Every structure is written in structure tokens, then in C-alpha cells.
């Protein structure tokens, strides 16, 4: 099949490309920062900045896009 032939060609070209990558020593990083958490805090919202970036109509009403999945 054409798809199988193209897949084989892609795999072969990928394999050939990997041959040109030099062998390097592996590097491992040990990190003690596992499962850290931070305080849950909300930042103040700048409504003027939000409205400056929003689409509005002639009357100043905010225009929001209806979900594309909704008919």
C-alpha cells in the first residue's frame, strides 16, 4: 500500500538522521523540589485593561464569541 511505503520511507529517513547525532554522556539532575505547593492567592484584575483588549459594540457592550460547538 502507498501509506505503508510512505511510512517506511519516513522511518528510514528518521533512522538515517539519528545516525548523524553524536553520542553524548547522559546528564541526570537530582531535584529535591518534589510536590511543592504555593499559597493560593488571586491577583487584582484591571478591568480597564480587560475592556481595552475586548471587542465592544457601539453601545459599549462586551462582545463574546459563542462556543463553536453550540448550534
For 23-43, give the DSSP string: P-----------S------PP
H helices within 1-71, ranges in order?
2-19, 47-53
Which residue do the cell numbers 538522521 mark? 17
Q: Give the per-residue pLDDT at 71.
A: 67
Residue carrying the nine cell digits 539532575: 29
- pLDDT tens digits for 7-56? 999 999 999 988 888 888 877 777 776 667 778 888 888 888 878 888 88
Amino acid at each position: 500500500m502507498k501509506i505503508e511505503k510512505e511510512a517506511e520511507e519516513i522511518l528510514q529517513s528518521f533512522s538515517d538522521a539519528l545516525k548523524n547525532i553524536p553520542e553524548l554522556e547522559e546528564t541526570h539532575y537530582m531535584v529535591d523540589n518534589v510536590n511543592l505547593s504555593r499559597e493560593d492567592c488571586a491577583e487584582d484584575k484591571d478591568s480597564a485593561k480587560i475592556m481595552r483588549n475586548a471587542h465592544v459594540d457601539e453601545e459599549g457592550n462586551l462582545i463574546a464569541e459563542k462556543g463553536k460547538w453550540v448550534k
